[in-house]
């Protein structure tokens, strides 16, 4: 009887020992798997961080390339004397329709040369367009220097000396260039001048919020 008990105890101890060994091995494998997973996650995070940096750098490079291309395009067109006719003028009708609901312009002229009402000075206007409600005056420069912006702002104060109809119509002053920096856009906006430049692949207003001010 005692021998049977000892045999059973020995068997149970053997089973328990094997269970402990197997459990230890399973825990070791689990710990190893968790460690490997943690390493893989860290590597994945590092790869994603590098990928994100690559994508952002690529986006910035694309923006820089587009700005550089617009600048070169503007410089070339300006040298050829066609920046107004080829780039700016064709956009004005679309701007008038999209933002001011002007379906048809009654008058449209490129490089219009006229004298002021007193006949003492002659000036060339890059683009002039109007209908019964609006008078669009567009100034175009290949480089949006601050002095050019200020000159146009000062001129708009005297617009009625050149266009008497400005007294009975809403004047829409537009300064255009292929690329206008954000600080220049803010400056124009504060002076209630619309900024027209390349946005993505088209010429568009950069501060259309002025319409509602």
Question: What residues form DSSP beta bridges with 114?
Answer: 123
Q: So what's the architecture of 82-212 in CATH?
A: 3-Layer(aba) Sandwich (3.40)
> For 81-117, where are the alpha helices, taking DSSP H only?
83, 89-100
The tokens of 147 are what? 């002095």
Could you tell me the residue ranges of all domains in the chain? 1-80, 82-212
What gap in Å lies between CA 101 and CA 125, rounded to an integer?
A: 23
How many Å separate Cα 132 from the centre of its chain?
A: 34
What gap in Å lies between CA 194 and CA 174, rounded to an integer?
A: 5
* pLDDT one digit per residue (tens) for the chain, 213 residues: 555 555 655 555 565 556 555 666 666 676 676 667 667 677 767 777 766 666 666 666 666 666 666 666 656 555 545 677 778 899 999 999 999 999 999 999 999 999 999 999 999 999 999 999 999 999 998 888 999 999 999 999 999 999 999 999 999 999 999 889 999 999 999 999 999 998 877 889 999 999 987
What gap in Å lies between CA 145 and CA 180, rounded to an integer?
A: 9
What gap in Å lies between CA 27 and CA 135, rounded to an integer?
A: 82
């Amino acid at each position: 009887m005692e021998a049977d008990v000892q045999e059973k105890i020995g068997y149970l101890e053997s089973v328990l020992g094997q269970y402990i060994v197997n459990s230890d091995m399973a825990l070791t494998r689990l710990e190893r798997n968790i460690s490997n997973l943690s390493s893989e996650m860290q590597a994945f995070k590092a790869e994603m961080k590098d990928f994100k940096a690559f994508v952002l750098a690529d986006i910035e490079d694309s923006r820089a390339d587009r700005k550089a291309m617009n600048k070169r395009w503007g410089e070339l067109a300006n040298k050829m004397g066609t920046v107004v006719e080829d780039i700016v003028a064709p956009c004005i009708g679309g701007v008038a329709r999209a933002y001011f609901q002007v379906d048809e312009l009654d008058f449209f002229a490129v490089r219009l040369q006229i004298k002021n009402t007193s006949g003492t000075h002659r000036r060339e206007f890059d683009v002039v367009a109007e209908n019964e409600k609006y008078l669009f005056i567009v100034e175009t420069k290949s480089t949006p220097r601050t002095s050019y912006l200020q000159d146009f702002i000062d001129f708009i104060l005297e617009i009625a000396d050149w266009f008497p109809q400005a007294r009975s119509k809403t004047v829409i002053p537009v300064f255009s260039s292929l690329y206008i920096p954000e600080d220049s856009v803010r400056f124009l906006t504060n002076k209630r001048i619309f900024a027209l430049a390349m946005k993505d692949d088209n010429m568009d207003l950069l501060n259309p919020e002025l319409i509602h001010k």
